[in-house]
Structure 1
Amino acid sequence: MEKLLLIGINTRSMLKSALKLDYDIYSTSYFSTSDTPQIKNQKIILQEKDNESCGIFEDNFKSENVLEISKDFIDEVDYIIPISGISPIEFSKSDQKKILGTRDVSNIEDKYKFYRKIKDEFKTPKTFLIRDVDEAIEISKNNPEVKYIIKPVKGSGGYDINLLNNDSYIQLNDGENYMLQEYVEGITLSSSVLASKDCKRTIMNSRLLTENDFEKNDSFIYIGNILPLTNESIMANVKNIDDINRNMIETSENLARKFNLMGSNGVDYILNEKGLYVIEINPRIQGTFECVEQSLQINMLDAHIKSSLNEEVEIPEAKYYSYKRIIYSPCRNIYSKINLDNIYDMPHIGSITEKSEPLLTVIDKNSDFKKLYSDVEKSSEIVNQISRKNRQDAK
């Protein structure tokens, strides 16, 4: 039996799909949620314990630590699927040959290189590479009619993105490269692309959600998705949803061909009255993974593997709406069991989650969009209420 390694920040959702396939499964991850399947060949960095904090993810996670504990697995397996947090670039040339998915990500993960590659072919926000905040302010002063954001050249999940304005104090991290990008206000959208050598196909468009969609706080942190994209799920007053979907499908497939994407990948957009802006490509299995599985009733990991091996994949029509919402902890709290059947990625009972750190994920499906939205929002509120009751003061 061939051996397959899943490696990334959190392998829980992929593990559940992988265990239905005919592979000997290996897994290394940073997180181990209480609902992560336990398998023989598994390594986890964060060991959650009673009355101990899980810490601050951005301070503690380092991809090199995950790779370090994976060395023997990497040598042993036939195939590797890097998930969010681990880049194909970080593997040796010989080990990159084992990767199922997009391998050449050098012009994608570097967002400024990506901008330079697409700016003459696709509608995209004007972007500048900057040395420091002073340079960003100078560019902004020369273009007073334009709003800007500062973001890392490399990064994901919407972290460390800041709106540049007169009141903001922005501290750039040493050793990281940053860029100044025109701030395009609008509706955030995403495409899921399934790509083989011979066929690049958009299989689903979705409404991408950030904290700003709920809190109106200028936070760009990723919080979830709703799919498929319809007049209801876009949650905005648009009249041409069919045209929007067609434009996204065509653009995503053109980008997939341009960057030779393989397997399951994502393309993020912003839509406003001026049109559809390409923001970035996520050259890996995306956060919509389980939503697509629920909506189409297929095994997306199987589809990713087959496409990466240039095998044909049958994609059915969507059967359900699916809604994913990540709950960030409203306070420092100790986790206790929550009796809901649509929550995932739960901490271990008794462990402490710090304020604003990811707590768990609500994921559900329904053919009725309004019922689905109501169910997920009710579950989200219940989780937040229980978390506040379990508040823990820092010692």
Structure 2
Amino acid sequence: MEKLLLIGINTRSMIESGLKLNYTIYSTSYFSTSDVPSIENQKIILDESINPDCGVFEDKFSSKNILNVSKDYLDEVDYIIPISGISPNDFEKKHQKKILGNKDISKVEDKYRFYKEIRNEFLTPETFYVNDVDEAVEIQKNNPEVQYIAKPLKGSGGYNTNLLNNQSQLQLNCDEKLIVQEYIEGINLSSSVLGSENEAENIVNSRLLTQHDFEKNSQFKYVGNILPLTEKSILAPVKNTDAINREMADTSEKLIGKFELIGSNGVDFILNKNGLYVIEINPRIQGTFECVQQALGINMLEAHIKACQNEIISIDKAKYYSYKKIIYSPKTVKYEKIDLNNLYDMPHLGSITQKDEPLLTIIDKDKDFDKLYEKVESSSQTVNKLVNNS
């Protein structure tokens, strides 16, 4: 049986899907969750049995560390699928050859390079490359009528993305390479696309959720998704969702073809009265993974692998709505069991999650959108209440 390594920040959902396929599954992940399947070949960076405090992700996570820990796996396995947190460009060439997915993502991973590649073809926010925070602030001063955001040149999940008001409000690592981008106020959307050597096919669109959607603050961390995209799930007074879906499908397929991407990819947009802005491409399996599986009734890992092998599987329309919501801890908390049936990525009992770090994930599905939304939001309120009262 061929050996497949899943490697990234959190491999729990991919392991569950991988165990249903004809591979021997290997895994290296940063996070350790209490619900991750136990497999023979598994390495986890965080070990709560040694230190129950999970710390601050941005301070402790290192893709180089995960690759270093995985050295023997990288040599042993037949195939590798990097997940969020690991770039194919981080691997040595001998290991890059084993990747099922995009092997060179430099044109889309570098957000300024991506902007230059698409600015003459697609609606996209004006973007500047800057050498430091001072230069970012100077751009804002010279264009007071425009609101900007500052974000890392590379990265995902909305980490270290901030509204650019003044230097004191920037929470950025000075060693990080930055871009300053025109801030587009609107509705965050995402398109899931399968790409092969010969074609690209949009399989579903979703409402992408950030902290800004819920708290109306200047934080843009990824919180989750709702799919498929309809007049209800868009969570805004927008009536022409069929036309929006068609435009998203057409644009995302063109982009995946333009950059010759294969496997599962995501294209993020912002919609407002001026149109549909292209924000970025995520050239890997996305955070919508389990929502897509629930709504479409497919094994998303299998769909990704087959697309990489030049086969786009047949996919029917969504049979369910699916909603994923990441709960960031409202305070530093020692985890105690919470009895809800739609919780995933739960910490180990007694482990400590710092304030504003990811605590757990709520994922649910239903054919009725209103019932689904009520279930997920009710679970969200229950979790936050229990944590705040602990």
Task: Give the structure-1-normalised TM-score.
Answer: 0.97
Q: Indicate the residue corresponding to 1:130 in structure 2.
A: 130
Alignment match, 2:324: 324
Deviation per residue, 1:239-294 (Å, 9 max, x gap): 21111111100000000001111100100000000000000000100000000000
Q: Is the 8 A contact 2:162 2:171 kept in 1?
A: no
1:91-141: per-residue Cα shift (whole Å, max 9, x none)? 111211110111110111111111111111111000011122332232223
2:315 counterpart of 1:315? yes
* Deviation digits for residues 24-43 of structure 1 (CA, Å, limit 9, x no counterpart): 11000111100000000001
Which residue does 1:199 correspond to in 2?
A: 199
Q: Which amino acid aligns with 1:144?
A: P
Q: Which amino acid in the other structure matches residue 365 of structure 2?
A: K
> Which residue identity lines up with residue 358 of structure 2 in the other structure?
P
1:370 maps to: 370
Structure 1 stretch displaced more, 333-342 or 370-379: 333-342
Q: Deviations over 1:341-377 (max 9, x none)?
A: 1000000011111111100000000000000000000
Residue 219, structure 1, aligned to residue 231, structure 2: no
Give, in angstroms, the shift of residue 168 of structure 1.
4.7
Shifted more, 163-172 versus 186-195: the winner is 163-172
After TM superposition, the structure 1 = structure 2 runs for residues 294-309 of structure 1, keeping only pairs within 5 Å, are: 294-309=294-309
Which residue matches 1:233?
A: 233
Q: Which amino acid aligns with 1:276?
A: L
Matched ranges for 1:272-291 at <5 A: 272-291=272-291
Task: Report the Cα distance in structure 2 between the residues aligned to 1:309 and 1:227, rounded to whole angstroms.
Answer: 27
- 1:166-215 Cα distance to aligned partner (Å, 9 max, x none): 58532542321101110000000000011111220000100000001111
**Helix, strand or coil at the partner of 1:380:** helix
Contact 1:132 1:172 in 2 (8 A): no
What root-mean-square deviation, in Å, do the aligned CA atoms of Structure 1 and Structure 2 show? 1.2
Give the CA deviation at 1:143.
1.9
Map of 2:94 onto structure 1: 94
Contact 1:49 1:348 in 2 (8 A): no
For the residue of structure 2 that corresponds to 1:286, the secondary structure is coil
CA distance in 2, matches of 1:318, 1:294: 9
Provide the C-alpha distance between the structure 2 equivalents of 1:244 and 1:96, rounded to a whole number of angstroms. Answer: 36
Three-state SS of the structure 1 residue aligned to 2:169 is: coil
Equivalences for 1:1-395 in 2 at 5 Å? 1-49=1-49, 52-166=52-166, 168-170=168-170, 172-390=172-390
Residue identity matched to 1:124? T
Identity in percent: 67
Partners of 2:41 and 2:315 lie apart in 1 by 31
Deviation at 1:238, TM superposition (A): 1.0
The amino acid of 2:316's aligned partner reads P
SS state at 2:315 partner: coil
**CA distance, structure 2, for counterparts of residue 171 and residue 337 of structure 1:** 33
Cα distance in 2 for residues equivalent to 1:169 and 1:53: 27
The secondary structure found in structure 2 opposite 1:136 is helix
Displacement of 1:144 in angstroms is 2.1
Q: What SS does the corresponding residue of 1:25 show, helix, strand or coil?
A: strand
Q: Does the 8 Å CA contact 2:267/2:280 hold for their aligned counterparts?
A: yes
Q: Is residue 133–residue 174 contact of structure 2 (8 Å, CA) maintained in 1?
A: no
What is the alpha-carbon distance in structure 1 between the residues aligned to residue 161 and residue 51 of structure 2?
Answer: 32
- Matched-pair contact (CA < 8 Å) for 2:295–2:320: yes
Conservation of the 8 A alpha-carbon contact between 1:50 and 1:351:
no
Contact 2:137 2:166 in 1 (8 A): no
Q: Which amino acid aligns with 2:354?
A: E
**Would the aligned equivalents of 1:324 and 1:364 in 2 still touch at CA under 8 Å?**
yes
In structure 2, the CA distance between the partners of 1:27 and 1:171, relative to structure 1 (3 Å rule), is closer
Q: CA deviation at 1:337?
A: 1.0
Question: Are 2:133 and 2:167, in contact at CA under 8 Å, matched by a contact in 1?
Answer: no
Residue aligned with 1:129, SS: strand
What whole-Å deviation, never above 9, does each CA across 1:270-324 have from its counterpart, x for those lacking one? 0000000000000100000000000001100000000001124111110000000
Cα distance in 1 for partners of 2:108, 2:266 equals 11
Question: How many angstroms apart in 1 are the aligned matches of 2:102 and 2:338?
Answer: 38
CA distance in 2, matches of 1:228, 1:306: 23
Distance in 2, matches of 1:94 and 1:32, equals 28
Partners of 1:250 and 1:125 lie apart in 2 by: 19
Work out whether residues 268 and 280 of structure 1, in 8 Å CA contact, stay in contact via their aligned partners in 2.
Answer: yes
Distance in 2 between residues matched to 1:167 and 1:179, nearest whole Å: 14
Q: Are the equivalent residues in 1 in contact too, given 2:206–2:229 (CA < 8 A)?
A: yes
Give the Å deviation of 1:48: 1.5
The number of residue pairs the alignment matches comes to 390
Q: SS state of the match for residue 223, structure 1? A: strand
Partner-residue secondary structure (3-state), 1:67 = helix
- Structure 1 gap segments, 5+ residues each: 391-395
2: CA distance, partners of 1:51 / 1:105: 35
CA distance in 1, matches of 2:6, 2:207: 27
**What TM-score results when the alignment is normalised by the length of structure 2?**
0.98
Can you give the 5+ residue segments of structure 2 that lack an aligned partner in the other structure? none
